[in-house]
A and B are shown apart, each in its own frame.
Chain A
Amino acid sequence: RKEVEQDPGPFNVPEGATVAFNCTYSNSASQSFFWYRQDCRKEPKLLMSVYSSGNEDGRFTAQLNRASQYISLLIRDSKLSDSATYLCVVTTWGDMRFGAGTRLTVKP
């Protein structure tokens, strides 16, 4: 079983849609959680960190459920520029595990 499981998609949504991505992790000792965005085999870029209390950055909301070992990302009012692959990352004492990524395409 993979340490970080992520729905690979692809997700094809119209502009303005709300889309949610989920990720589960197997190591209950994991300490830090992030969502990254990657465009077309370029370097991953941090989208947001994920906290137990939940956090929001504009149209993006991230949630962490430690009991269920589950993190999520919600994108509201999708834009064409949101088209990318979204990667969840789980960290345990420097050991970083990435999900395989969920591809999102936002269409006009």
Chain B
Amino acid sequence: EAQVTQNPRYLITVTGKKLTVTCSQNMNHEYMSWYRQDPGLGLRQIYYSMNVEVTDKGDVPEGYKVSRKEKRNFPLILESPSPNQTSLYFCASAPDGFQPQHFGDGTRLSIL
């Protein structure tokens, strides 16, 4: 089954404790992306990757890091999480940066 898998689905943690949200896709897609969704603000792109070893900042990259060492994985790293990063996060992939994306189920992150 074609899918984008995010882990964990839910996480409650504390300020300053480094965390990684993993994202994996099994569709051999070149393009992957991370979003956060906050009430009233819609989905905002954090980082995207057009291909392996190529990453670009989206609309709200501050406080986040990503890496794309292999095609299927695109982890999102919060080196020093803060409460304003409490949000619902989605990972997505697409054949390329111009085609519709397939989204993961989301990760609900709470930082206290």
Contacts and interface: CB of A to CB of B under 8 A. Distances in A.
Contacts of B35: 96, 98
Interface residues of A, number: 21
Contacts of A94: 31, 33, 48, 50, 56, 96-98
Interface string B50-71: 1000001011000000000000
A45 interface: yes
Contacts, number: 58
A98 B43 contact: yes
B50 A97 contact: no
Interface residues of B, number: 28
Q: Which residue among A91, A94, A97, A98 has the maximum number of chain B CB atoms within 10 Å of its CB?
A: A94
Contact of A98 (B42, B88, B97): B42
Given A32-B98, A91-B98, A95-B45, A43 B56 contact: no
B41 interface: yes
